[in-house]
Amino acid sequence: HLQLQESGPGLVRPSETLSLTCTVSGGSISSSPYYWGWIRQPPGKGLEWIGSIYSSENTYDNPSLKSRVTLSIDKSKNQFSLKLNSVTAADTAVYYCARHGARGYSYVDYWGQGTLVTVSS
């Protein structure tokens, strides 16, 4: 049974970089043809897709985040990571890591439990 678990600081200062890691267990992150992504949810609001990675050469992110996103994957550790730079209070949210399929199958079938990240000085 596949499990995803987010880890990282729960508090980030404004203008700094938010860094989160997702550890995958119960299956291999190298499994094809899956993408590994990040989705966030501000308190009391809806879901926003941040970006997804298939390999180091194959990443996609949400244009609304204005190129602040860096995605990476470490297949040896079965982990993938998110960096979001120049954060503001608007980036305060529960961050979920997730698995989805390739084009035409890109619904999320596995989610992490989510981790709250607060941006505050």
Partner 1 sequence: ETIMTQSPATLSVSAGERATLSCRASQSVSRNLAWYQQKPGQAPRLLIYGASTRATGIPARFSGSASGTEFTLTISSLQPEDFAVYYCQQYNNWPPVTFGQGTKVEIK
Q: Which of 34, 36, 49, 54 binds partner 1 (CB under 8 A)?
A: 49
In the region spanning residues 2 to 21, those forming contacts with partner 1, defined by CB under 8 A, are none
**What does the DSSP 8-state code read for residue 63?**
G
Strands of the 69-74 sheet, one edge to the other: 3-7, 18-25, 79-84, 69-74
Q: How far is the CB of 48 from partner 1 (least distance, A)?
A: 7
Alpha-carbon separation of residue 56 from 23, 81, 93 (angstroms): 17, 11, 26
| Closest CB to partner 1 among residues 103, 121 | 103
Q: How far is the CB of 90 from partner 1 (least distance, A)?
A: 17
> Quick check: 37 and 53 in contact, CB under 8 A?
yes
SS3 61: strand
| Closest CB to partner 1 among residues 12, 39 | 39
Name the residue type at position 22.
C
Per rule CB under 8 A, is residue 108 in the interface with partner 1? yes
Q: Which of 8, 27, 42, 114 binds partner 1 (CB under 8 A)?
A: 114
> Quick check: 85 and 66 in contact, CB under 8 A?
no
Query: Which residues here bind partner 1, judged by CB under 8 A?
Result: 37, 46-49, 51-52, 60-64, 96, 100, 103-109, 111-114
